[in-house]
Amino acid sequence: MLTVLNVLQLVLYIALLALAGQGLLYLLAGPAREHNLFYQLLRVVGRPFTGTLRRLTPAQVSDRQVGLLTFVMLALAYVVVTIEKVRWCVRIGLEQCR
């Protein structure tokens, strides 16, 4: 169970960093971001998460809002997984969590 929580936490962490980097480049690069290789790479990493949330949200939610909403949802999921990991470690003993 600890391995599953660690892997899930890592996947969420990578997705959060990709979305944060994408958002930062969105602000810094402006319209030229579409030609930025690093922005395109971050978009590919975050696409499974933003695409899934895009399919789940109604059409009234704009694409600009989907990125921020995805980041918030992933951050909440990361907090939940971290809390569960701490609970699990307390239950089995901290020595076995290392």
Q: Where are the domains of the chain?
A: 2-97
Task: Give CA–CA dist 49/52, Å, rounded.
Answer: 5
What does the pLDDT average to over 6-32?
93
SS3 43: helix
Task: Give CA–CA dist 96/76, Å, rounded.
Answer: 26
The per-residue pLDDT of the chain, averaged, comes to 91
Report the predicted TM-score, pTM, of the whole model to 2 decimal places: 0.86
Tokens of 98: 């290392």
Task: Name the percent of the chain lying above pLDDT 70.
Answer: 100
Check whether 65 has a pLDDT greater than 80: yes
